Amino acid sequence: MLHIVNTRPADRADALTHALTQAGYTVSCLPLLELVAAPLTTTLQRQLMHIKQADIVVVVSPTAVALGLSYLQQLNIDPVNLRCQWVAVGQGTAEVLLRAGITSIIPRIETSEGMLDLEVFQHATRSLHVMFWRGHGGRQLMLQTLQSQQHQPISINLYSRQLPSQSKLAYQQLLNQPPDVVLISSGASWQYWLELGQQYQPIVPTYILVLGERV
């Protein structure tokens, strides 16, 4: 029986862990990412007010949706009445937006490259004001590409990423029962996995499964 490590954030891991367990695998959870909300500072308030001039709002995760909409509510901005087009990185993000009454478009491939291939960007006839709801340092490729195409991206950093403190102990426990498979869902998760290996002892599974080609 394969021993699989699910490294998704704790608040997103349950469905995958349940499915793998139901399929007969042994699953250990080792969250490698924790998202910490950015405070609604005066600077962030000013940045978010620019949504009234945005042509497109790109939302990169369900966490970005939850925080962004919460902050708009505090600023008395109704997102449903804005003139912008919403772009969601994937189905999960789009569903959270839809629950708030916001319809978004989703790329066929749920990556930055997939979003850049959307018609709203490919067939643009003028410079677009594009607002990004993201984590600090995320989606650099998309931001840089849009800037090179003479669009005007506005980056809204709604959260930061860090390694959960309890994950160090969980990693050390895995040294006694090394996994056959490790699931890696992001570049940041992979970096934290490598850092844990350097700090303690490398774990070399038989397989490493990644979410996408870039990871």
| Torsions phi, psi for 58 (to 5 deg) | -100, 125
pLDDT of the chain, 215 residues: tens digit per residue: 899 999 998 878 888 999 999 999 999 999 999 889 999 999 999 999 999 999 999 998 899 999 999 999 999 999 999 999 999 988 989 999 999 999 999 998 877 788 888 888 888 888 899 999 998 876 677 878 888 888 888 899 999 989 998 999 999 999 999 999 999 988 889 999 999 999 999 999 999 988 766 66
**pLDDT value of position 214:** 64
pTM: 0.80
